[in-house]
């Protein structure tokens, strides 16, 4: 059967947050900005046609994005023991940049930790534990090379972030896996991990993004890419626990990360992503 036939009737969920000026982000990265460089009417072609276009300025780790392995070093070393200074220049990284990320199209497992606790969203500063992950994974097989997402429900706060919720967790912290949970995930040898918060980490209250040990465990020690600031609320509400994930960040040569628009494919004539809790 042709692949497109297997996808007939599938439900596709967009897992990317919309990019806009002023959206929540880590203070460690340049903010997103967009402005119209040319407006309709600035130049009118013969026959009355006109075109508009914009300039976009953004950090690579703003909005929904994938962290390259070059994003984090420990004691001057990148993944595989490569000295960062040897592969780094003003033009970026000659190795382990986001352009080295091979597009992922494959099985994804969603570990809904918020559902384990019977809440729509975990509280600020909550540390996801090994027990949380094991309970969320009950009845699921985590296979080497899978994508694994950790659901905290935090993306439900995105729209109200500027008024009601400290989305980045600078004051109250943000929910995410702690060190032990990160090692549990890494031991399953996933291809990629991801979540809804700006940093795929337990951010304690009042600490902000001062230390990021989960990034070290994933990127430096384990060679596992991270997807952050994902929009998972609709996926969490669907009840799906495994599905097809399409993940293909912009191939910016030498960059430490890049924006991405992940797609979850549920259902279809072959039952793709049909597993529900």
Is residue 223 a contact partner of residue 146, using CB atoms and an 8 Å limit? no
Contacts of 25 (CB under 8 A, 6+ apart): 31, 32, 59, 61, 62, 63, 168, 198, 229
pLDDT value at residue 133: 98
- Give pLDDT tens digits for 33-64: 999 999 999 999 999 999 999 999 999 999 99
- Give pLDDT tens digits for 221-256: 999 999 999 999 999 999 999 999 999 999 999 999
What CATH topology corresponds to 3-18+60-267? Glucose Oxidase; domain 1 (3.50.30)
Q: What is the mean pLDDT of residues 136-146?
A: 97
- Give pLDDT tens digits for 155-188: 999 987 555 668 888 888 999 999 999 999 999 9
Whether the model clears a pTM of 0.85, i.e. scores above it, the answer is yes
């Amino acid at each position: 059967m042709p692949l497109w036939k297997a996808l007939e009737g599938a439900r596709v969920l967009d897992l990317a947050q919309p990019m806009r000026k002023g959206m929540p982000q880590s203070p460690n990265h340049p903010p997103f900005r967009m402005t119209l460089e040319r407006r309709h009417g600035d130049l009118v072609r013969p026959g009355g046609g006109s075109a508009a276009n914009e300039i976009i300025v953004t950090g690579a780790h703003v909005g929904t994005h994938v962290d390259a392995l070059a994003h984090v070093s420990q004691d001057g070393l990148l993944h595989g023991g490569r000295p960062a200074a040897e592969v780094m220049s003003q033009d970026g990284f000659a190795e382990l940049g986001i352009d080295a990320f091979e597009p992922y199209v494959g099985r994804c497992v969603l570990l809904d930790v918020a559902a384990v606790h019977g809440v729509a969203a975990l509280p600020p500063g909550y540390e996801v534990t090994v027990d949380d992950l094991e309970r969320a994974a009950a009845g699921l097989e985590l296979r080497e090379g899978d994508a694994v997402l950790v659901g905290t429900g935090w993306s439900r706060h995105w729209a109200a972030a500027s008024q009601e919720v400290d989305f980045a967790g600078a004051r109250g912290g943000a929910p995410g896996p702690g060190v032990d949970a990160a090692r549990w995930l890494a031991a399953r040898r996933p291809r990629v991990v991801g979540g809804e918060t700006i940093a795929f980490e337990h951010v304690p209250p009042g600490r902000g993004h001062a230390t990021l040990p989960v990034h070290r465990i994933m990127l430096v020690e384990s060679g596992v890419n991270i997807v952050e600031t994902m929009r998972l609320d609709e996926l969490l509400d669907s009840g799906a626990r495994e599905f097809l994930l399409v993940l293909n960040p912009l191939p910016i040569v030498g960059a430490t990360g890049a924006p991405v628009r992940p797609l979850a494919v549920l259902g279809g004539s072959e039952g793709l992503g049909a597993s529900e809790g």
